[in-house]
Amino acid sequence: MKQAKEYQMSIRCYFPGIDNKTQHYQAMPLKDIAKWIEAYQFTHPNVESITVRVRCKETN
């Protein structure tokens, strides 16, 4: 079975308050983004929004 390609991601989660955010770095297949967000919302129910940045190219 072919394994899904993983992409490097930067995920920022915003919470209530001024400049209240966390930054996560994760490598995962694109199809797993929704699962990650659902799990994060379950463990952090007060998260207001989440942004995901996907690195398309590797940097040296």
Over residues 8-46, the pLDDT tens digits come to 999 999 999 988 999 999 999 999 999 999 999 999 999
Give the pLDDT score at 58. 66
Residue 2 has pLDDT above 80, yes or no: no
How many Cβ atoms from other residues are within 10 Å of residue 13's Cβ? Answer: 19
> Which two three-digit tokens encode residue 49?
């929004």
| Comparison of pLDDT for 11 and 59, the residue scoring more | 11
**Number of residues that make up the chain:** 60
Give Dmax over CA atoms of the chain in angstroms. 46
Query: Contact 51/33 with Cβ under 8 angstroms?
Result: no
* Residue 43 CB-density burial (10 A; 0-12 exposed, 13-18 middle, 19+ buried): exposed
